Amino acid sequence: MTSERKIRANRANAQASTGPQTTRGRARAARNALRHALSLPVCSIPALSEEVETLAREIAGPGANAETRELARQVAEAQIDLRRVRYARHQFLSDTLSNQDYDSLANMRMNAKVLRALLRPSPPDMSMEALRKFVTSTPQGPHKLATVLSGEAKKLQAMDRYERRALSRRKFAIRAFDAARRRGSHDCNN
Amino acid sequence: MSRKSENKTEIAAASVPQRLTVFGPPLLLEGEDAAAYDELLARMCAAVKLVDVIDEMLIAEIVALEWEVLRWRRVKRTLIQEDILRALRNFLVGQFESNYALHKKHFKRYLAELLRNNLPTEQADSAETLAAECAPHTDEANEQLDVVLRRIGLEINTVLDNARAAKAKELVQEYVRGKQAAVTLVHKLLADAGESMDTFMAKAFAYKIDVIERIDRLATVAESRRNAALREIDRRRPVLGEALGRSVQHIEGDDFGNGELVLELPPAEGKNAA
């Protein structure tokens, strides 16, 4: 059984562990779980929500009924979400490609291995020039893109899942919208 | 931007509906040609008559995905080609090492330039003569070369290695450009050594198989999504879908589609070379 003394100490410690105290610290901690914000619905982001409404109005066209307007909004929402995911992936690729010092974890591990080998009592024969070139060279051009694709595969796959879901949502939203349109024109003809 | 690119942009701007901008700017990576993207979009838009915003949405999607397909094919081709050419360069360096006569003339020129740049000004004029005396690769000439190079703080082996690497690089460049003499020489050296460009290609594939597979997967995903968008258009408007499908085939068939894995190397016999 836990002693009274231990319980008191735990409670005292818990009082001191209340997370960040400053506004800046609290703001930073509030973003801990946020990586790319792609899991947030577009409607919870004011700027995107406005774009959704504009696009939905364009899709529905003038004089659309409430059902068509709602279905158009679903198409617009999926479309804006898709654009957001693609933009995030593109931004990630562009930022990583423009990072001059980018190298994959595997290459960095290899560099560290070589340096460790050189620090041993009987190091392998290697000129300073070759060593400098080996340690400081980073992949360039298409090789850099290939390194990024390999090194960041997990992140890119995660983004791809969001893209796939948005595409699927949009496909069914378009089909529902078209069906509603057809029903509407059929009713008008009758 | 070149004049050709400017023209492309003008054509594209004229034929792309304004509303397509709602779907965001083109997502181009560093070094990609915005004018070529606009031209691709203009060609797609010109092939069909768009009826509503959803058509435009799907067209913008097809163009973006087609661009991605072409990008991944281009990256794959460049990666493999670079590896093949690097292997060829290393092979040629090895050949020059074992057969000095192959790069004797080049070495003489290389040495003359090196001496001209490194000797004191009053001796620089004699660089040509000195290079001619030191280049023959006899024991006596090598001894003289060693003395000359040591005077200017250089090592004979380093100079020879650099000269061989420079000659190999030059020869590979001429080979890629399809220069007849270079093509003939490379094919002769390959045949004599029992090697072929296919061996280098196989090695490049083996070395890069992981990344090639990854790029292939990306291209396949983009292709299947593009086809899904085409099917969706076809479902909504069969005529439009058919026209777009033809347009995509044309684009893949002509200059846009040169991202297919066709390595830009001269033919085996070098007969078509310039």
pLDDT digits (tens, 9 = 90+) for A124-151: 777 777 777 777 777 777 888 888 888 8
User: What pLDDT, on the 0 to 100 scale, is given for residue A122?
Assistant: 80
**How far apart are alpha carbons B107 and A139 in whole angstroms?**
31
Inter-chain CB proximity B211 and A59 less than 8 Å: no
User: What pLDDT, on the 0 to 100 scale, is given for residue A35?
Assistant: 67
Regions of chain A short of the pLDDT cut 70: 33-36, 186, 188-190
Inter-chain CB proximity B236 and A93 less than 8 Å: no
User: What pLDDT, on the 0 to 100 scale, is given for residue B16?
Assistant: 56
User: What pLDDT, on the 0 to 100 scale, is given for residue B108?
Assistant: 81
Say if residues B133 and B144 touch (Cβ distance below 8 Å): yes
**How far apart are alpha carbons B53 and B219 in whole angstroms?**
27
Mutation test of the interface with chain B: which of A149, A155, A178, choosing the one with the most B Cβ atoms within 10 A? A149
Q: Which of B4-12's residues contact partners 24+ apart within 8 Å by CB, and which partners?
A: B5/B33, B5/B35, B5/B36, B6/B35, B8/B35, B8/B36, B8/B38, B8/B39, B9/B34, B9/B35, B9/B38, B11/B39, B11/B42, B12/B38, B12/B39, B12/B41, B12/B42
**Residue A93 with chain B: CB contacts under 8 Å:** 29
User: What pLDDT, on the 0 to 100 scale, is given for residue A33?
Assistant: 67
| C-alpha distance from A34 to closest chain B C-alpha (Å) | 24
**Residue A167 with chain B: CB contacts under 8 Å:** 225, 228
User: What pLDDT, on the 0 to 100 scale, is given for residue B3?
Assistant: 47
Chain A CA closest to residue B30: A94
Chain B CA closest to residue A161: B221
Inter-chain CB proximity B23 and A150 less than 8 Å: no
User: What pLDDT, on the 0 to 100 scale, is given for residue B151?
Assistant: 79
**Residue B22 with chain A: CB contacts under 8 Å:** 54-55, 58
User: What pLDDT, on the 0 to 100 scale, is given for residue A142?
Assistant: 82
User: What pLDDT, on the 0 to 100 scale, is given for residue B2?
Assistant: 47
Quick: pLDDT tens for B26-55.
Answer: 888 888 888 888 888 888 888 777 778 898
Regions of chain B short of the pLDDT cut 50: 1-6, 8-14, 259-263, 268-274
| C-alpha distance from B61 to closest chain A C-alpha (Å) | 10
Say if residues B243 and B48 touch (Cβ distance below 8 Å): yes
All residues at 6 or more sequence positions from A151 whose CB lies less than 8 Å from its CB, including other chains: A104, A105, A106
